[in-house]
Structure 1
Amino acid sequence: MEESAIMSSSFSVFTNYPLISAFVSFSIAQLIKFFTSWYKERRWDLKQLVGSGGMPSAHSATVTALAVSVGLQEGFDGSHFAIALILASIVMYDATGVRLQAGRQAEVLNQIVYELPAEHPLAESRPLRELLGHTPPQVIAGGMLGILTAFVGYSVTRIATTI
């Protein structure tokens, strides 16, 4: 492959509307969690910028933005949209199912460890992460954010191509 073709294809990632839409949606969701956390606790928690769990679901926002963007760009009747939709469904189901239950189990296990006598070998173990999954409203909010981001991005790309 020629050097100019490699350079051209490597920069095309910056014009990939579905990829940008997914990334922007993820970033907005994480920023919402970051500022919501500050508003509630009056302290900055940088973990909110990359952490899982909370309102809205960044995972749901990301995969929904990706699926809707692919549908808007390539059509909702194609195999690319079908793949993105199935991926989004699995991620969103996992967020409210497996990951939510794992977080609840972590809460129970942390409580059990907390109540152990000080001489028990597990008494000093590091607590498990509890905020792993999402409630259905958090997933729905993330999905709505993803849809909104995809449509706004699509509108912006349509306007940019007509100028």
Structure 2
Amino acid sequence: MPSSHSSLCSSVSTAVAMQQGLGSPLFAICVCFSVIVMYDAMGIRRHAGLQAEVLNVVAAELLEGHPKAERKLKEVLGHTPRQVYAGLLLGILVGLLFPVAPY
């Protein structure tokens, strides 16, 4: 499943590039924002999900029989690099296929 966050950011960046040009300050801001969002989706949130998996195992072993042992942390967080890349390509495609009306 492609990352919807990456798709949104890259489609907005593509639309701004088509409207304002690659040298515009707004395009530079969009690209910076897109990179931050994609880094977060692929790196920080993904690693939080991996940590949640480990914590769930540790909690299950340490809190066996305790009511709190039933509660599990959400493990499916973030995206794989492939999902982020697919979202990037999908967003660029959407930005190119659906031109923005001039304002």
TM-score (norm 1): 0.58
Q: Mapping of 1:121-132 within 5 angstroms?
A: 122-124=68-70, 126-132=71-77
5+ unaligned residues in a row in structure 1: which ranges?
1-54
TM-score (normalised: structure 2): 0.88
Shift in Å, 1:112: 1.9
Q: Deviations over 1:44-79 (max 9, x none)?
A: xxxxxxxxxxx2111111111111111111111100
Paired residues, what number? 101
Q: Greater Rg, structure 1 or structure 2?
A: 1
SS in 2 for 1:76: coil
Q: Mind listing any 5+ residue stretches in structure 2 that lack a counterpart?
A: none
Give 2:42's aligned residue.
Answer: 96
Q: Percentage identity across aligned positions? A: 49
Aligned to 1:51: none
- The AA in structure 2 aligned to 1:117 is E
Structure 1 segments of 4 or more deviating over 4 A?
none
In structure 2, what residue type is equivalent to 1:65?
S
- SS class of match (1:128): coil
Task: State the structure with bigger RCO (CA 8 A, min sep 6), 1 or 2.
Answer: 2
SS of structure 1 residue aligned to 2:85: helix
CA distance in 2 between partners of 1:72 and 1:60 (Å): 18
Structure 1 position 85 matched with structure 2 position 35: no
